[in-house]
């Protein structure tokens, strides 16, 4: 999997955008990847929310 991370200035701080792309994936791997996007998105969102809370306390 290729993960691309882009940092950009936002109105209230730095905006981080992650893009995932399967590499050399079979058809079943592509379907599995697509079926799990919501879960992956939730995991990353939760991680960044926790990181933001940490910096807010620091």
Q: Tokens representing 55?
A: 């910096």
Interval 1-57: pLDDT, tens: 899 999 999 998 889 998 989 999 999 999 999 999 999 889 988 998 999 899 899
Say how far apart CA 47 and CA 53 lie, in whole Å: 10
Does the global pTM surpass 0.75? no
Q: Count of H helices and E strands in the chain?
A: 2, 2
Which residue reads 């620091």 in tokens?
A: 58
Confidence band, pLDDT 50/70/90 cuts, at residue 58:
confident
Domain limits for position 19 = 2-57
Tell me how far apart the alpha carbons of residues 12 and 34 are, in angstroms, rounded to a whole number: 31
Q: Specify the number of domains making up the chain.
A: 1
Question: Smallest Cα–Cα separation from 16: which of 34, 24, 4, 28?
Answer: 4
């Amino acid at each position: 999997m290729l993960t691309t991370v882009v940092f950009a200035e936002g109105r209230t701080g730095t905006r981080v955008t992650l893009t995932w792309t399967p590499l050399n994936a079979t058809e079943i791997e592509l379907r599995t990847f697509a079926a799990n996007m919501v879960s992956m998105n939730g995991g990353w969102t939760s991680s960044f929310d926790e990181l933001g809370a940490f910096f807010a306390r620091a």
